[in-house]
Amino acid sequence: MRVAVISDVHANFYALEAVREAISHEQVDEVWCLGDIVGYGPRPNECCAAVAEWCTLSLSGNHDQAAIGLLPLEEFSPIAAAAAGWTREQLDSRSREYLANLAPLSHVRGCELFHGSPREPVWDYVFSATAIDATFALTVEPLVLVGHTHFALAASLDDHLFGGLAPAGTTIEFGHDRWLVNPGSVGQPRDGDPRAAYLLLDLDAGRAEFARVEYAVERTQAEMRDLALPEQLVARLCRGI
Ligand code: ZN
């Protein structure tokens, strides 16, 4: 069983299409999305439709919930709130219905999946050793998948905690040791690599591989500027921060 895992698409359709094209050469059986399909980017409806059609499992993130009114915009930073407010107005009824039926966590094929973390599936950021420790303590499976931070990460626990950022090409073996992984973000990477991120899992072999693919960043940026989305959100895309 081979699975591709994506997260934090953030309405960046060109990034999503590039990932989809790259994964189409990989012969995967399933595609899982860890949430935040919308928010920040210019094409929320196209991304909802593509994820709905392509992904066999899909979680809801904080931006998805804000976009359909389940979370108040006051809980977001001013620029994130501005983009979330814009997204709310753009969503068509199909996207709204799709997002309304998603949950922020899942447990499938020997993996536990969260947008945030098991402490708080929607909002919690798994960055620190404390958060990683808590995530292992609250889960049982050999592989735990999280999104939300936009940093590709691989951390493990045997008798102590180890791991860290997972740049493109990083591979891990899970099963004997427990691993916590974050595939990174498709549509708004923040770990210094602006390319769209995804993860390939071989569940039978117990292997995970972190990958990145170039996409037309400038096309997404041009659309965002045309729509007068916040310039800070536009500028960060080509730097991956
Ligand atoms: Zn996100």
Return the pLDDT at 114.
98
Domain count, the chain: 1
What value does the mean pLDDT of the chain take?
Answer: 96
| pLDDT per residue as tens digits for the range 118-142 | 999 999 999 888 999 999 999 999 9
Which helix (H) or strand (E) segment holds residue 80: the answer is helix 78-90
Distance 162 CA to ligand 1 centre (A): 24
Mean pLDDT within 151-166: 87
Residue 227 is part of which domain span?
2-236
What pLDDT sits at residue 160? 75
Q: From the CA of 115, how far away is ligand 1's center (Å)?
A: 9
Least confident of 92-101, 169-178, 192-201, 216-225: 169-178
Q: What single string gives the DSSP state of each residue in 135-149?
A: HHHT--SSEEEE-SS
CA of 176 to the centre of ligand 1 (A): 30
- Ligand 1 center from residue 150 Cα (angstroms): 6
Residue 205 lies in a domain: yes
162 pLDDT more than 90: no
pLDDT digits (tens, 9 = 90+) for 66-106: 999 999 999 899 999 999 999 999 999 999 999 999 999 99
The mean per-residue pLDDT over the stretch 181-189 comes to 98
Q: What is the distance in A from the centroid of ligand 1 to the CA of 159?
A: 31
pTM greater than 0.85: yes
Report the separation in Å between the CA atom of 93 and the middle of ligand 1, taken as the mean of its atom positions. Answer: 22
Does 201 fall in a domain? yes
How do 2-6 and 30-33 pair as beta strands?
parallel
Residue 33: inside a domain, yes or no? yes
Nearest Cα neighbor of 143 from 196, 98, 206, 205 is 206
CA of 34 to the centre of ligand 1 (A): 9
135: CATH: 3.60.21.10
- pLDDT given at position 157: 81
pLDDT more than 70, % of the chain: 100
CA of 13 to the centre of ligand 1 (A): 15
97 CA from centroid of ligand 1 (Å): 20
- Ranges of H-type helices in 24-77: 44-54, 62-67
Tell me how far the alpha carbon of residue 138 lies from the centroid of ligand 1, in angstroms: 22
241 domain-assigned: no
pLDDT at 175: 80
Domain for residue 95, yes or no? yes
CA of 149 to the centre of ligand 1 (A): 6
Residue 63 alpha carbon to ligand 1 centre in Å: 7
- The answer to whether residue 62 is domain-embedded is yes
Q: Say if 78 falls within a structural domain.
A: yes
- pLDDT tens column, 86-95: 999 999 999 9
Q: Mind listing the pLDDT tens digit for each residue in 14-28?
A: 999 999 999 999 999
- Residue 155, domain member (yes or no): yes
| Dihedral Cα 219, 191, 52, 49, nearest 10 deg | -20
Among left, alpha and beta (phi > 0; psi -120 to 50; other), residue 159 is alpha
- The Å distance, Cα 10 to ligand 1 centre, comes to 7
Task: Please name every residue paired with 5 in a beta bridge, in sequence order, or none if there are none.
Answer: 32, 199
What pLDDT is attached to residue 161?
77
